[in-house]
Structure 1
């Protein structure tokens, strides 16, 4: 295909782009002094991240505009005369009989085979071939080594301390045995383009935190900086609402980004606010570091932009954890490709070690998901099972917090846990004396037993009727949303945790209390 010199395409009237949707934008074609051409190749403009233009090949007799996708969660206005895209006129087209593609590198093929190795038992030979073909097509989405990380400018992290003066903290002393290890970490981050030397008026100390495998994690203590930073209120999705989006799914894949925060750019004027010191030099991050109070909000905003149009249909996302679902293998394969393509376009890389593909059962956010439904993760429940008797109010709160994560699996959770909740109440008697009596011990053991024998919660089906049951007593309120499973008498239940009630509510008569 031969082409003439490229030209610019401008919109001919002001256009409002609705949030997270695609809009047809009328544009003007550039003049061309050459011979008549039959087609126009539309390319996107890279200098504006507010929207994306679909790459298209269109006949000149048909083109009147281009398709523009607004990725943001607010309306965008394209003023008249704005450069929307570029294009090239083509002289002629020839129908391709054969498509020549490069041979995948040996390293790419090895990584793909490793990813699929534990899928052979659930995939047929034909399905395995299709899965391998897809992964080879998007092999560059997976990191090849620890230094192979993407970087996206779709969202930039900002730090807004208001009118506060820069905060400078003295470096903390590190264990002598760890000094060489820290120097190696610094050298590695400089080599990988994560940090650079700084002359910032800000400075935060460094500390080392031990990982589960015994190695040390490099952390910067940004607590003082976070205290003066204006908060970003972008919400993280509710985990229970996220899981409720699942319905009639049979195939699962989970993806995890490679050092996800480090793939997000930080605003140039805010880099100096990330400065830290180990006692030897001053450094600042070139990417979004861990430990900043608004980092989760920035990352969730990024992922929801990258996966616009896919969340709730093809996948679910919570920060850097992505789960792709499908009712059939073909649908699952298609959904995986859509997610891979969006990550590739955003220049985000996945960690192959943390990805689990083409499964009938996966662990996600502390739950085990399968075709049958949702159940608790045995590894997480083990922490409850072997939890010792709390010695103070703080330990009681920690135990209740862990149990409350799975309270939808425990019938009458509030009634059972009431003696423990009483221990956490803020009153003068409790503050003076922590009294663990027999009722507390019974509640403690009952919760542990119930959580170790939890049922499987079925997925809801929005096309079928729901049954709502409410109850009230002088202890608390309860609500169950259930649904019949086909023609059988078996009922899928979702137990809604009751709210913490004001003392005046307990005076209501039972019929009125149920209406709450």
Structure 2
């Protein structure tokens, strides 16, 4: 007699579609996400979702090896806790459960499943942990652990509601976690075979401890890795305005050998031309923009840096490389090329959406967020300003068609004594 296998409960999670609460099966063996025909009929009583009647029969294999046929696909907006997505589901009359979240949604949402511990989390916010795949109403109300984007002044209640609903659809894009673009992998081209090798800078024990803390963080995030490259550049600390520091690598010797990209760079003057007449602004800042661009495997050796405790190299484009700004500009041209200057101004890692009305601005912002998501890029929620009538950008204030210097920037000019003779004027 064969030994009986222990019973393993399926992995489920609760989600909300409008006022309807449903238990969804998480099935990575299913290629697609599916909703039952009976639930679809209940949803049809309301409005607000797109139904696509398929011209040809679509077939998918489930985890148990059986095939299902679909003739309809619907796009649904749903929530798991405070997170929300708009995602397509096939409709099946033979589905034995209410909802299946398939491999397509698991990949799209960056869901991380720990079946052994009966937990899930999301790679864009690993501090959010959903336990036991139970009804989340039995768990405390979990709010985002990061600072939410700042909404503009003078917005009414309805406008705030519209914006909050929009922003909630992009938890994997508006996050302090690093993204990784799927559009390019940068290859560093070197003009000479000369090997550049530098000695590490020396630091007192407290500063060395601080430097090692940065390295530990970069290693844990997969941004860098230990290296045996023949190349090496020295790493050092740069103070930040908040009193903390960031690690930078002195790539001056490597930069002399790096072949630059032929990409036009943005200018401050062009901002005046395009932003000066708008009435609604949103400011988005890419999270460590360079570190969202993966490097070609052969290029990583050129980014190697050395400290007194070891040698490391970057898996992603590092800050300080001469071609970095041009590589980023090239990437953002691929993402936004056809909408640049129409309603989006791009200046290195800063994105400014500009519009002439609130309704227009919501549409423009959605297009930009969709493109960021499709490109695998993330923006900082803490630095994000949404639908504001004014914006401080590049040392200037843009407000209601007017441009002025930020007061702190103009103070040295305003306080400079008036020249009384030609000598003082020169």
Deviations 1:49-98 (A, max 9, x none): xxxxxxx986359xxxxxxxxxxxxxxxxxxxxxxxxxxx99552486x9
Once the two structures are superposed, what CA deviation does each residue of 1:434-464 show, in whole Å capped at 9, x if it has no partner? xxx9535235xxxxxxxxxxxxxxxxxxxxx
Distance 1:229 1:114 in 2: 38
Among 62, 71, 74, the residue aligned to 1:93 = 71
Return the TM-score normalized by structure 2: 0.66
**Rg larger for:** 1
Task: Call closer, same or farther: CA 1:232–1:438 in 2, change over 3 Å.
Answer: farther
How far apart, CA to CA, are the structure 2 residues paired with 1:112 and 1:174?
A: 34
Deviation readout 1:135-164 (Å, 9 max, x if unpaired): 111122112x4xx21011312223222223
Separation in structure 2 between the aligned mates of residue 262 and residue 384 of structure 1, nearest angstrom: 37
Contact residue 149 and residue 382 of structure 2 kept, 8 A: no
> Aligned partners of 1:182, 1:379: CA distance in 2, in Å?
33
Unaligned runs of 5+ in 2: 1-29, 32-51, 58-66, 84-127, 129-140
Q: Which residue of 2 aligns with 1:151?
A: 180
Q: Which runs of 5+ in 1 are unaligned?
A: 7-55, 62-88, 389-415, 417-436, 444-516
Is the Cα–Cα contact under 8 Å of residues 151 and 388 in structure 2 kept in the other structure?
no
Deviation at 1:103, TM superposition (A): 3.2
Write the deviation string for residues 304-345 of structure 1: whole angstroms up to 9, x where unpaired: 111132211121101111100111111000100000000001
Q: Please state if 1:311 is matched with 2:311.
A: no
- TM-aligned CA deviation for residue 177 of structure 1: 2.3
- Deviation of 1:300 after TM superposition, in Å, equals 0.7
1:374 partnered with 2:403 = yes
d(CA) in 1 for partners of 2:234, 2:414 = 38
CA contact under 8 A between 1:253 and 1:325: conserved in structure 2?
yes
Alignment correspondent of 1:135: 167
Does structure 1 residue 115 correspond to structure 2 residue 98? no
> Distance between the aligned counterparts of 2:415 and 2:204, measured in 1?
33
More helix by share: 1
Contact preservation (8 Å) 2:223, 2:314: yes
1:160-209 superposed Cα distances (whole Å, 9 cap, x missing partner)? 22223110011111133201111111111100111100010101011211
Distance in 2 (alpha carbons) for counterparts of 1:209 and 1:369: 31
Q: Does residue 288 of structure 1 match 2:317?
A: yes
Q: State how far apart, in whole Å, the 1-side matches of 2:69 and 2:296 are.
A: 43
Contact kept? 2:192, 2:257, Cα under 8 Å = no
Provide, for residues 398-433 of structure 1, a one-character-per-residue CA deviation record: whole Å limited to 9, x for no partner: xxxxxxxxxxxxxxxxxx9xxxxxxxxxxxxxxxxx
- Whole-Å separation in 1 of the counterparts to 2:277 and 2:68: 47
What TM-score, normalized to structure 1?
0.55
SS of the residue 1:152 aligns to: coil
2-structure distance, mates of 1:113, 1:182 = 25
2:53–2:72 CA contact under 8 A, matched in 1: no
Partner of 1:353, secondary structure, is coil
User: How much has 1:378 moved relative to structure 2?
Assistant: 1.8
Distance in 2 of aligned mates of 1:234 and 1:387: 39
Does residue 382 of structure 2 align to residue 353 of structure 1?
yes
